[in-house]
Amino acid sequence: MKLCTTSKAIRLFWLILLFPLLTTYSQSKFSYGFHGGPSFSVLFVSGLSFEDPYSTKVGLIIGAHGNYHLSKRSSLVANFNFEQKGAKTTFKEINNPSTGLPYGVNEKISLNYITLPILYRYTMGRGSLGVFVNAGPYVGLLVDSKSDEMTMSKFETFDFGFSLGLGLNYELNSKNLISLESRVNIGGEHISKIVVFNDRLVRVASTNIIFGFTFD
């Protein structure tokens, strides 16, 4: 089921991104660009707060995007991203009530993903400056992982979740614009193959600050 869902998401992404390269019909409906910025991620456990037992890890997100304009204000946006996720554990500061000893040692967990968000965007505003909101699902493919204790074999290959963003764009001219977006990504999948915290799920979440350049 995961492979089938991932395959459909990837096909939809490439359909949005490559369709205008295969036809000359309605070229003005498509635009493309590149983006990047910092990513602030954390692992969280169902039933526990975000700060316990993981803290935020700072990484990078870079990628390309394709937009299909449904109307003047509405569009579909597909991203192809490389995103650094993960967390810092705080097990050393958390004591086991039954023993009084720390649960473990602190370590850094680095998870590198290829992510494919498919978003609906609505843009408001007049003139050169616009405000937009976008939302939609994403699929992530784990391509590399590093930590002191766990290897890539201890993490699930795929992650699925939901993205929600708010941003500004500014038209430099009729063909080019720049944008700034704050985007939150909440994973819906259990990413750890190791049973933790009485079978509770471990998920990954991230907040991106994305600077973008788009051209027709």
- Lowest-pLDDT range, 2-16, 30-44, 83-97, 141-155? 2-16
Report the distance separating Cα 189 and Cα 199, nearest Å: 14
Percent pLDDT > 90 in the chain is: 46
- Residue 26: inside a domain: no
Q: For residues 208 and 134, give the distance between their C-alpha atoms in angstroms, rounded to a whole number.
A: 13
pLDDT of 108:
78
CATH number at residue 91: 2.40.160.20
pLDDT classification of 57: cutoffs 50, 70, 90 = confident
- Greatest mean pLDDT among 48-52, 88-92, 127-131, 179-183 lies in 179-183
Residues 148-157 pLDDT 10s: 665 545 788 8
Q: Which residues contact 142 (CB under 8 A, 6 or more apart)?
A: 111, 112, 113, 152, 155, 156, 157, 158, 159, 191
Q: How many domains does the chain have?
A: 1
Q: pLDDT category, 14, cuts 50, 70, 90? A: low
Residue 198 included in any domain: yes
CA distances from 93 to 9, 43, 53, 96 (A): 40, 17, 9, 10
> Does 27 map to a domain?
no
What is the rounded CA–CA span in Å between residue 114 and residue 118? Answer: 13
The answer to whether residue 2 scores a pLDDT higher than 60 is: no
Share of the chain above pLDDT 70, in %: 67
C-alpha pair distances (Å), 216 with each of 47, 66, 181, 188, 192? 46, 10, 19, 34, 41
pLDDT of 85 over the 50 cut = yes
> What spatial distance separates the first Cα and last Cα of the chain, rounded to whole Å?
36
Per the domain annotation, does 132 fall within a domain? yes
Cα distance between residue 201 and residue 29, in whole Å:
41
pLDDT of residue 33: 95
Residue 24 lies in a domain: no
What are 169's two structure tokens? 């764009």
Please give the residue range of the domain that contains residue 174: 2-19+33-215
141 found inside a domain:
yes
Asked if the structure places residue 25 within a domain, the reply is no
In a domain, 28, yes or no: no
The pLDDT value recorded for residue 192 is 75
